[in-house]
Amino acid sequence: MREKVFRDPVHNFIHVNDPLILELIDTREFQRLRRIKQLGVANTVFHTAEHSRFSHSLGVYEVSRQIANHLERFASQTPGDGGWQVEERRVLLVAALLHDLGHGPYSHTFESIFKTNHEKFTQDIILNKTNEVHQVLMKYDEKLPAKVASVIAKTYDNKQVVALISSQIDADRMDYLLRDAYYSGATYGTFDLARIIHLMRPVVDGIAFEQKGMATVEDYIISRYQMYEQVYFHPVSRGIEVVLTHLLDRAMELYQDQQKKQISIDNFVTPDLKPLFEYSVSIEQYLDLDDASILENINLWRHSSDKVLAELSMRFLDRKPLKSIEISPKTRHYLSKIRPLIEEAGFNVKYYTAENDSFDTAYDLYHPEAKHAKTQIEMLQPDGSLAELSTQSSLVKALTGRSYGNARYFFPAEMLMEQTTGDLMAPVYQEFQKYVHNGALIGIYPRNSD
């Protein structure tokens, strides 16, 4: 086919010269990703972070295409020599393009409330015979749907392909770090993508990086650390996520309560969302869902007769995040002091407070017994041997296994407002503010009753 080129602010050009890829892009299932934001609610903090999972998926395809072109220089000559198997190119590129196909709206909040799993839905969408994606894949190779689904499941027999899609330094992470940095306006999420690809070498059961380029790999690790610290774990974004979680929890509670009482619930949620509330969503119904589906319902709930649901919907739509304070093992016990004050001020702590922990590691060693084991980064030595990254880099060694992020306690911003003279609630707010001052839980002013 004649090459198709997509303009892209991160990669400049995205090249498509395989008719299969172009047909997959045009499927209903892939086009749906245009309507799902990559960063969920982060645009309430970083106002230009409006990019979609569609653009990210195209980006992962492009990174994988560049990697495949590079690895062809190291093609396998004999079975088992660890070289790149050129015939795996198509599986790699298709898996890269489709890896996020099963994401729902506001992905991680959505999954926790409605008990879904985007990786499982991705596999099911690819394998479902009625879907356009499956039919396109079958037209080119009847074994392709099963192969691609196994890459997503991390069970594919070629571990090099799996590592390029899902590891501590893969095409997915490399695109989303660069893309999220660009659209959030951050400058600390950038690294030398071209150099990292140039350093890649196929090895038995994986991918390694030339020792001479260790500084470039270190830069990638630091970039990932900084993006999580400054963007992904931003406290205001987390405050909006808490509001979204609570309002969906409240909606679910009301829906189930009305079902038990056999009250008419036809107008409580739109038809496309009802299967989720009943935990019985089919693939076809799932594919009808996008960010607009959730927003449509939240707009309805804003006018609900249930005051909690209506008020939480207002806070989400009008960007009224919960405030937060960092908590530690030394200060956590003071939460028992401030919760009653929040209740006394008229807020239901079930829906207006939350303990939210957001932690990750910049780099971790491989622990095969772990539930979500992370593959380690291997550096290819001049003699052909492999050495794990942290044994070669003092910088990475210092970060290895260390968690970053924090635990925060979220509460209504009204608890920090200055009260006017004569306000009957002023003593409650004043008491709360003795414990919480300048964004910290100081806990040095015990109540008179203590």
Question: What residue ranges in 51-203 does DSSP mark as E strands?
Answer: 200-203
Query: Is residue 425 pLDDT above 80, yes or no?
Result: no
**201 CB contacts (<8 Å, ≥6 apart)?**
74, 207, 208, 209, 210, 380
Query: Is residue 337 pLDDT above 60, yes or no?
Result: yes
**354 CB contacts (<8 Å, ≥6 apart)?**
242, 245, 246, 322, 409, 410
pLDDT value for 365: 58
CB 421, CB 248: distance < 8 Å: no
Tell which CATH classification among 3.30.56.10, 1.10.10.60, 1.20.1250.30, 3.40.710.10 matches the domain 234-321.
Answer: 1.20.1250.30
Query: Is residue 446 pLDDT above 50, yes or no?
Result: no
Query: From CA 410, how far away is CA 322, in angstroms rounded?
Result: 6
Query: From CA 105, how far away is CA 124, in angstroms rounded?
Result: 17
Helix axes 291-301, 307-317, angle to 10 degrees: 130
Split at pLDDT 50, 70, 90, the class of 368 is very low
Does this chain's domain 234-321 share its CATH topology with 323-362+403-450? yes
Q: Where are the domains of the chain?
A: 4-233+364-400, 234-321, 323-362+403-450
pTM (2 d.p.): 0.92
CB 375, CB 363: distance < 8 Å: no
Query: From CA 423, how far away is CA 425, in angstroms rounded?
Result: 5
Taking only the tens place, the pLDDT of each residue in 207-262 is 999 999 999 999 999 999 889 888 998 999 999 999 999 999 999 999 988 877 76
pLDDT value for 362: 65
CB 398, CB 261: distance < 8 Å: no
For the chain, the 3-state helix, strand and coil shares in percent, each to the nearest 5, are: 55, 15, 35
Other C-beta atoms lying within 10 Å of the C-beta of residue 129: 8
User: What topology does CATH give the domain 4-233+364-400?
Assistant: Hypothetical protein af1432 (1.10.3210)
**With b meaning 16 or more CB within 10 Å and e meaning fewer, what string describes 241-254?**
bbbbbbbbbbbbeb
**336 CB contacts (<8 Å, ≥6 apart)?**
none
Structure tokens at 301: 């709930």
pLDDT value for 328: 85
Q: Quick one: average pLDDT of 328-343?
A: 90
Amino acid of residue 323: K
Query: Is residue 41 pLDDT above 60, yes or no?
Result: yes
Quote the longest CA-to-CA distance of the chain.
85
Place of tokens 């395989």: 18
Other C-beta atoms lying within 10 Å of the C-beta of residue 112: 13
Distance from chain centroid for Cα 54: 14
Taking only the tens place, the pLDDT of each residue in 50-91 is 999 999 999 999 999 999 999 999 999 998 899 999 999 999
Amino acid of residue 152: I
Amino acid of residue 344: E
Taking only the tens place, the pLDDT of each residue in 183-214 is 999 888 899 999 999 999 999 999 999 999 99
* 20 vs 108, higher pLDDT: 20
Tell which CATH classification among 1.10.1040.10, 1.20.1250.30, 3.30.360.10, 3.30.420.40 matches the domain 323-362+403-450.
Answer: 1.20.1250.30
CB 6, CB 55: distance < 8 Å: no
Amino acid of residue 348: N
Evaluate the CA torsion angle 162, 166, 172, 174 in order and state its sign: negative
CB 173, CB 63: distance < 8 Å: no
- Count the residues in the chain: 450
Query: From CA 274, how far away is CA 285, in angstroms rounded?
Result: 10
pLDDT value for 445: 41
Q: Which strand (E) or helix (H) includes residue 436?
A: strand 436-437
